[in-house]
Amino acid sequence: MADIERVLTDTAPKPAGHYSQAVCHGDLIFVSGQLPVTLEGKIIADASFEDQARLALANLLAIVKAAGSSPERVLKVTVFLAGVEYWPKFNAVYAEAFGAAKPARSVVPVPSLHYGCLVEIEAIAAR
């Protein structure tokens, strides 16, 4: 049976609660939901939607890389948006970040997110 490995990298914000940035089991990486938070822990909920989405994606991809993977090996992304009206903007930023890689994806509109953020992103990747 494969061991469980917890990921903690300085290239993404440290967890603010009782969770890991990611957990690996076998060849799978489960990345916790990433908000638009700087490496110093500053939440940028007052930034534009695009800037929030870019930072949340950058955090997610930094964790994927630290766990031994890459954007091309991301299998599934779940995105929580504080309003379906952000879907087109998110899709553009997402395509920018993933390029030719096209993971399976769900976009879930929600009434609100923690700290007033507009986007939170989690993923499953292969190593």
Query: Residue 107: which CATH number?
Result: 3.30.1330.40
The DSSP code for 54 is: H
Overall domain count for the chain: 1
Cα separation, 106 vs 102, in Å, equals: 12
- Predicted confidence (pLDDT) per residue in 36-52, tens digit: 999 999 999 999 999 99
Domain carrying residue 84: 4-126
Closest CA to 125 of 38, 31, 52: 31
Q: Two tokens at 105?
A: 């994806």
Spatial contact of 33 and 81, defined as CB atoms under 8 Å apart: no
The per-residue pLDDT for 1 is 54
Cα separation, 34 vs 12, in Å, equals: 9
Overall pTM surpassing 0.75 (yes/no): yes
Q: Distance of CA 22 to CAs 8, 62, 75, 122, Å? A: 7, 11, 14, 9
Spatial contact of 82 and 120, defined as CB atoms under 8 Å apart: no
User: Each residue's pLDDT tens digit in the chain (127 positions)?
Assistant: 569 999 999 999 999 999 999 999 999 999 999 999 999 999 999 999 999 999 999 999 999 999 999 999 999 999 999 999 999 999 999 999 999 999 999 999 999 999 999 999 999 999 9
